[in-house]
């Protein structure tokens, strides 16, 4: 008995070729779309993660700011931050003074604050009119500040809560000139004069309004937008944090210590409503927008 071998007919072959052509056309497009979605999703998650880290670090420092001290350097001018400031320009700088929250939390010796935040307004010690702060310990204050300061310098200042004579530029030292007396909003003080006493670095407290509550500060902070050094993407900006400098002693932000918080920044914005502050950081990646830099994601925090 003869075995019959069956073969494909021409019609069957044509049908198979057509089906393979359809799969080749739409299957490739589908795979490409899946790959593109994966790349976009991965980059988007990376941008969201990095912006979240950056805005959280900024918010952590702003939480302990001296509210009245915030200024912005923009277009060659230094002005107080009022309402909303949205910066997208190389060279824009935001500055503020932060009080010593670490000293308020205590140290390795005790969980009690190293400085109490209270002034005994009825107690005047000595001819220089030292300020007495019951419960404070200058040795512990010096230890905390020295360990935190990048250069080990101890050059603190007081800010009185309730001081209503705010001189944003001259009172904090933002004009680049050190305070020559105690008539500003920051009050430079020395370590010494007693374990719980503040002795003035310049001038004295005679004739100066002294309030019962204060904050102790040893550093100002600055956020600087600067041109990213990556040659392949000249339109990108980076965000840098400066700290460890004292404007009340005439120091400017670029005399401090810095580190880069974020690359690929498209904008940095602050909005103030009363004592409430909102900060927003937007970052982008030109690879997701065909080199136009139009794709960006934003993260924001509200600080009370």
What pTM, to 2 d.p., does this model score? 0.83
pLDDT of residue 104: 85
pLDDT of 265: 87
Q: Phi first, then psi: give them for residue 91, nearest 5 degrees.
A: 95, -5
Q: List the beta bridge partners of residue 223.
A: 94, 241
Predicted confidence (pLDDT) per residue in 13-29, tens digit = 777 777 777 766 666 67
**What pLDDT, in 10s, does the model give residues 66-80?**
988 999 998 888 888
**Under 8 Å between Cβ of 78 and 178:** no
Query: Rounded distance, CA 111 to CA 50, Å?
Result: 33
Instruction: Give the pLDDT confidence of 132-146 residue by residue, as tens digits.
Output: 899 898 888 888 888
pLDDT of residue 267: 86
Q: Which helix (H) or strand (E) holds 130?
A: strand 130-132
28-68: pLDDT as tens digits: 677 777 767 776 777 777 778 878 888 999 999 999 999 88
Provide mean pLDDT across the span 230-239: 66
* Greatest distance between any 2 Cα atoms in the chain: 130
Which pLDDT score, from 0 to 100, does residue 159 have?
95
Q: What is the pLDDT of residues 235-291, one digit of tens each?
A: 578 999 999 999 999 999 999 999 998 888 888 999 988 888 999 998 877 665 554
**Residue 207 region, left (φ>0) first, then alpha (ψ -120 to 50), else beta?**
left
Tell me the H-state helices in the chain: 10-22, 28-62, 101-104, 138-148, 168-172
Contact 181, 200 (CB under 8 A): no
Q: Are 172 and 248 in contact (CB under 8 A)?
A: yes
Please tell me the predicted confidence (pLDDT) of residue 9: 75
pLDDT at 212 over 80: yes
Residues paired with 71 in a beta bridge: 80, 95
Residue indicated by tokens 């339109």: 235
Give the pLDDT score at 100: 93
Give yes or no for residue 182 having a pLDDT over 90: yes
Residue 218: pLDDT band with limits 50, 70, 90: very high
Residue 193 has pLDDT above 70, yes or no: no
Selected residue with higher pLDDT from 23 and 212? 212
Question: Which of residues 151 and 271 earns the better pLDDT score?
Answer: 271
User: What one-character DSSP code corresponds to residue 213?
Assistant: B
Say if CB 298 and CB 282 are below 8 A apart.
yes
Per-residue pLDDT at 5: 59
């Amino acid at each position: 008995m003869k075995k019959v071998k069956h073969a494909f007919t021409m019609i069957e072959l044509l049908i198979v070729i057509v089906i393979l052509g359809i799969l080749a056309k739409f299957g490739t497009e589908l795979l490409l779309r899946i790959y593109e979605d994966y790349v976009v999703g991965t980059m988007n998650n990376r941008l969201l993660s990095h912006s979240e880290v950056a805005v959280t670090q900024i918010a952590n420092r702003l939480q302990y700011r001296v509210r009245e001290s915030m200024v912005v350097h923009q277009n060659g001018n230094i002005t107080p931050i009022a309402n909303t400031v949205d910066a997208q320009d190389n060279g824009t700088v935001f500055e503020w003074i932060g009080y010593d929250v670490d000293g308020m939390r205590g140290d390795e010796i005790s969980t009690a604050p190293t400085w109490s935040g209270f002034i005994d307004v009825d107690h005047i010690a000595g001819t220089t009119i030292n300020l007495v702060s019951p419960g404070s310990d200058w040795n512990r204050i010096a230890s905390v500040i020295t360990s935190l300061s990048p250069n080990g310098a101890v050059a603190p200042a007081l800010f009185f809560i309730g001081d209503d004579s705010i001189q944003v530029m001259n009172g904090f030292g933002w004009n680049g000139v050190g305070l020559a007396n105690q008539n500003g909003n920051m009050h430079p003080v020395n370590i010494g004069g007693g374990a719980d006493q503040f002795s003035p670095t310049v001038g004295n407290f005679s004739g100066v309004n002294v309030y019962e509550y204060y904050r102790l500060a040893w550093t100002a902070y600055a956020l600087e937008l600067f041109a990213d050094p990556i040659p392949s993407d000249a339109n990108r900006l980076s965000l840098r944090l400066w700290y460890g400098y004292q404007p009340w002693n005439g120091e400017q932000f670029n005399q401090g210590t810095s580190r880069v918080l974020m690359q690929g920044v498209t904008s940095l914005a602050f909005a103030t409503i009363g004592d409430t502050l909102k900060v927003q950081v937007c970052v982008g990646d030109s690879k997701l927008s065909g080199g136009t830099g139009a794709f960006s994601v934003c993260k924001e925090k509200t600080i009370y």
